[in-house]
Amino acid sequence: MSFELETAVQPAGLRRVAIDPVSRVEGHGKVTILLDADDHVHQVRLHIVEFRGFEMFVQGRPFWELPVMVQRLCGICPVSHHLAAAKALDVIVGATRLTPTAEKIRRLMHYGQILQSHALHFFHLASPDLLFGFDSDVAKRNIMAVAAEYPDIARKGVLLRKFGQEVIRVTSGKRVHGTGAIPGGVNKALTREERDALYADAYVMIGWSREAVALVKRLHLANAGLYNSFGAFRSNMMSLVADDGGLDLYHGALRARDADGKLIFDHLDTHRYWDQITEEVKPWSYMKFPYLRALGPEAGWYKVGPLVRVQNCDQIPTPLADAERREFVDFGGNMPIHATLAYHWARMIEMLFAAEEIKALLHDDDLLGEDLVVTGERQRRGIGVIEAPRGTLIHHYRINADDQVIRANLIVATTHNNQALNESIRQVAKRYLDGRKLTEGLLNYIEVAIRAFDPCLSCATHALGQMPLAVELIDASGACIDGLQRDGDGTVSSPQRA
Amino acid sequence: MTPPPVVVIAWGNPSRGDDALGPEFLCRAESIATHARDTFEFVTDFQLQPEHATDLEGRDLALFVDASRTLADPIAFNELKPQRDATFTTHGMSPSGVLAAFRAAFDRDPPPAFQLAIAGVGFELGDPISETAMRNLDAALALFTRLAVAPSAAAWRELAQCV
């Protein structure tokens, strides 16, 4: 595995591109493409704003505030941060094993989050690309157009989201800023009425999730040549798996495979993640680059998320999703599937898994129990790892004798995927950049590649008027010879051509 | 049960400087509208999402409130229409996108909807709302006081002409 286009072999004559404060304020995503003297793509970099201020934000706070406080780190997956923090604090309060009621309520909350997040991504972010084609006009690649031409799909997307949000509301106590998970357990059980209300819709959600898998599979198979090669790259893979090797998004041990599917490590205790994973800092990005220590930074980078999880596990513990997993794996033959666009297919298999898990949990009377919290011998360090919708999420805290947080380290899924995102964009730029001019088509392709990972680029703010994506083309002399940006309203402009 | 006829949806991250304008507005607007609990329902969230379309069901009128980083004036108030939402992998939707999602989900037009944007200047994690944004918030609340007196699409359209 090499970074042939990330770092120039002969850097003379190439200007290093640094992120200035303006791009940090403005940007969700910024891509720079450097050309060599022959106008071939020389380097491609995706700059993502990541707030390493996360860790500073929580230092000095009492540890019991964390499960609520960390939800403010990200408006996209607050439940994942809520649960990862709670799992880390379970260790700190000595809760080595939660009560069945607490664990199942947390699992229900988590699978509600997986369902609603995957539904949002597929129905509202990715489906316009997939249904209308990557080359279609941007005016068509939006939910409005999907609603016009595929109203049933758009409607189910909204209602799947609503169901997932309702699961979260019932289990966390509130629609936002939920407080359900606390160190050592949960602060409330479900009432029978709450459970029955969710149960009434659970089977419908399974049915719609099956339809979504069928749709994305059909789209992939109908254009397999493009889907298998677009932005594709080989890499290591890492995710949690259950003790029996099955898919488990709430709890388990870490497993990593190489690009051929061979095990690198297995059943790694999450509390020892640092033995195998470390992070590299690169001068051109605010976001760190994690890699597997044993393989080093050049060969040890990996990807995470749905595409990895459904292939890294040995089975899925729900029947419908497992049948889909087997078909997916068979599609790859004897080798792992590394197609970036296969993330969509895998994501819908996980959505079906989440819907089945929710249904199974709603059958369980433990959800109505009264034994909610356990504690034990107090610890000073706690690590919580969970498979968030976009991939592995690690929360790591140290506290002092006054119960204040003195150190925090968070590795979010988009950080794990940092190198993978760059690699995918490189493949797209190499294939589609023609000459010294950026085209809206290339912008579309870059967007499609990034979107497949469902990266959380909006951890910053969402305020109205934010600029979403900019691409700059820089020649061998260091001059910016072209640029394109797509604004929040879909309009494309080029400051360099003005 | 019939929901209150007017829904006010305000969103933002309370811990990211002026991004907190939406939730802060909502908190204060609820106090202003205590006399009209049957008329208004207040909804807050981190981000605007497709399922907020379901909060529009059964309403006569909707008001979306958010911070703006590009607004030149302290506030802006205008009527919305369902339209394309080309936000790129931001996960958060625009108000117009939510109206479009309503049309998709329920196969009918959404209720008349308006947007109140409040200018913010700083959005860093851990920062409080800036003094400038607080002044803008006062202007937004003054407008809401007028909106609350006459909660109808016709009256709000007239006000939109003046702001």
| pLDDT for the residue numbered A465 | 40
Q: Are strands A391-399 and B6-11 parallel, antiparallel or unpaired?
A: unpaired
| pLDDT for the residue numbered A21 | 30
- Between A334 and B41, name the one with better pLDDT: B41
Give the range among A109-118, A402-411, A448-457, B99-108 with minimum mean pLDDT: A448-457
In this structure, are residues A86 and A64 in contact, taking their beta carbons and an 8 Å threshold?
no
Phi then psi dihedrals of residue A105, to 5 deg:
-65, -40
Name the H helices within A402-439.
Answer: 413-416, 418-432
Q: Is the pLDDT of residue B87 over 60?
A: no
Q: Which residue in the set B13, B68, B101 is minimally distant from A143, CB to CB? A: B101
Identify the bridge partners of residue A495 per DSSP, sorted by sequence position.
Answer: none
Measure in Å the smallest separation between the Cα of B46 and chain A Cα atoms.
5
Q: Which residue in the set B19, B85, B107 is minimally distant from A463, CB to CB? A: B19
Query: What average pLDDT does range A438-453 have in this prediction?
Result: 86
Measure in Å the smallest separation between the Cα of B163 and chain A Cα atoms.
18
Query: What average pLDDT does range B98-112 have in this prediction?
Result: 88
Q: Is the pLDDT of residue A49 over 60?
A: no
Phi then psi dihedrals of residue A305, to 5 deg:
110, -170
Q: Is the pLDDT of residue B110 over 60?
A: yes
| pLDDT for the residue numbered B70 | 82
Q: Is the pLDDT of residue A152 over 80?
A: yes
Q: Is the pLDDT of residue A406 over 80?
A: yes
Q: pLDDT (tens digit, 9 = 90+) per residue, B65-81? A: 999 888 899 999 999 98
Q: Is the pLDDT of residue A64 over 90?
A: yes
Is A468's CB within 8 Å of B47's CB? Answer: no
- Between A404 and A148, name the one with better pLDDT: A404
Contacts of A467 in chain B (CB under 8 A): none
Mutate to test the interface with A, among B45, B51, B68 (most CBs of A within 10 A): B51
Query: What average pLDDT does range B97-120 have in this prediction?
Result: 90
Name the H helices within chain B.
Answer: 21-32, 95-106, 131-149, 153-162
| pLDDT for the residue numbered A223 | 94
Percentage of the residues of chain B whose pLDDT score is greater than 70? 94
Query: What average pLDDT does range A445-457 have in this prediction?
Result: 82
Query: What average pLDDT does range B10-27 have in this prediction?
Result: 91
CB of B72 within 8 Å of a chain A CB? The answer is no
Q: Is the pLDDT of residue A496 over 80?
A: no
CB of B100 within 8 Å of a chain A CB? The answer is yes
CB of B70 within 8 Å of a chain A CB? The answer is yes
Residue B67: half-sphere exposure toward Cβ, Cα within 13 Å = 31
| pLDDT for the residue numbered A16 | 39
- As for the ipTM of the complex, it is 0.80
Measure in Å the smallest separation between the Cα of B5 and chain A Cα atoms.
21
Query: What average pLDDT does range B1-16 have in this prediction?
Result: 90
Give the range among A358-372, B88-102, B117-131 with minimum mean pLDDT: B88-102
Is A75's CB within 8 Å of B92's CB? Answer: yes
Q: Is the pLDDT of residue A26 over 60?
A: no
Q: What share of chain A is helix, strand, coil (3-state, %, to 5)?
A: 45, 20, 35
Contacts of A451 in chain B (CB under 8 A): 88-89
Give the range among A67-71, A134-138, A342-346 with minimum mean pLDDT: A134-138
Q: Which of 128-157 (B) contact A at CB < 8 A?
A: none
| pLDDT for the residue numbered A468 | 63
Contacts of A461 in chain B (CB under 8 A): 12-13, 16-17, 19, 67, 69, 123
| pLDDT for the residue numbered A470 | 80
Q: How confident is the model at residue A488 (pLDDT cuts 50, 70, 90)?
A: low
| pLDDT for the residue numbered A498 | 67
Q: How confident is the model at residue A318 (pLDDT cuts 50, 70, 90)?
A: very high
Give the range among A199-213, A241-255, A470-484 with minimum mean pLDDT: A470-484
Query: What average pLDDT does range A389-405 have in this prediction?
Result: 96
Identify the bridge partners of residue A402 per DSSP, sorted by sequence position.
Answer: none
Beta strands in A258-412 (DSSP E): 263-268, 277-280, 289-292, 302-303, 381-388, 391-399, 405-411
Tokens representing B100?
């479009």
Q: pLDDT (tens digit, 9 = 90+) per residue, A81-137? A: 999 999 999 999 999 999 999 999 999 999 999 999 999 888 888 888 888 888 777
Q: Is the pLDDT of residue B150 over 70?
A: yes
Name the H helices within A407-476.
Answer: 413-416, 418-432, 440-452
CA distances (Å), A316 to each of A237, A242, A249, A319, in order?
18, 10, 11, 7
